[in-house]
């Protein structure tokens, strides 16, 4: 089961229209839209990836396949920017 943790170099600001992320290591910063913010809030609570996908599919009334593509693309991007780290754990 894959979970994520926020990188120690990442700072996050929760705002009324989304989240702004700053990486102190790379000096790059990003803003997340509504969906990205929902994913960020879930992963920040160590929610397993499969549960993040299921939650988004339910809340946005889309298939798990479609939600999975969106979530994986975002998680890959966040990991590529060293804002999150994957934690592999046995279920």
Partner 1 sequence: MTRHWQLGAVLAESGAEETVLRHLGSPAALHVVGGRLRAGAGYAAAPREARRELARTGAILRLRTRGAYVLHASGAVAPNGSAWILTGDSGSGKSTLAFALARHGWRVLGDDGVVIRIDNTGRSMAFGWRDPLRMSCSLFPVFPELVPLEPLVDERDPRRRVPVNAPFAAGAPVAGCVFLERGEHDGATRLAETEVMAKLIAQSPWVLIPDAHARDHFDALRQFAVGVPCWRLMNTERQLHHISATLEGLLS
Between 12 and 51, how does the x/- string for binding to partner 1 read (CB under 8 A)? -xxxxxxxx-x-xx-x-x-x--------------------
CB atoms within 10 A of CB 58: 11
9 near partner 1, judged by CB under 8 A:
yes
Rounded to the nearest 5 percent, the helix, strand and coil shares of the chain are: 45, 30, 25
Judge contact between 76 and 68, C-beta under 8 A: no
Nearer Cβ to partner 1 (16/63)? 16
Interacting residue ranges for partner 1, rule: CB under 8 A = 9, 11, 13-20, 22, 24-25, 27, 29, 31
């Amino acid at each position: 089961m894959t979970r994520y943790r926020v990188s120690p170099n990442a700072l996050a600001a929760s705002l009324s229209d989304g989240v702004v992320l700053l990486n102190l290591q790379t000096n790059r910063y990003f803003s997340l839209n509504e969906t990205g913010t929902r994913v960020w809030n879930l992963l920040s609570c160590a929610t397993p990836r499969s549960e993040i996908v299921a939650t988004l599919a339910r809340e946005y009334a889309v298939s798990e396949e479609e939600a999975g593509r969106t979530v994986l693309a975002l998680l890959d991007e966040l990991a590529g920017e060293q804002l999150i780290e994957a934690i592999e754990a046995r279920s």
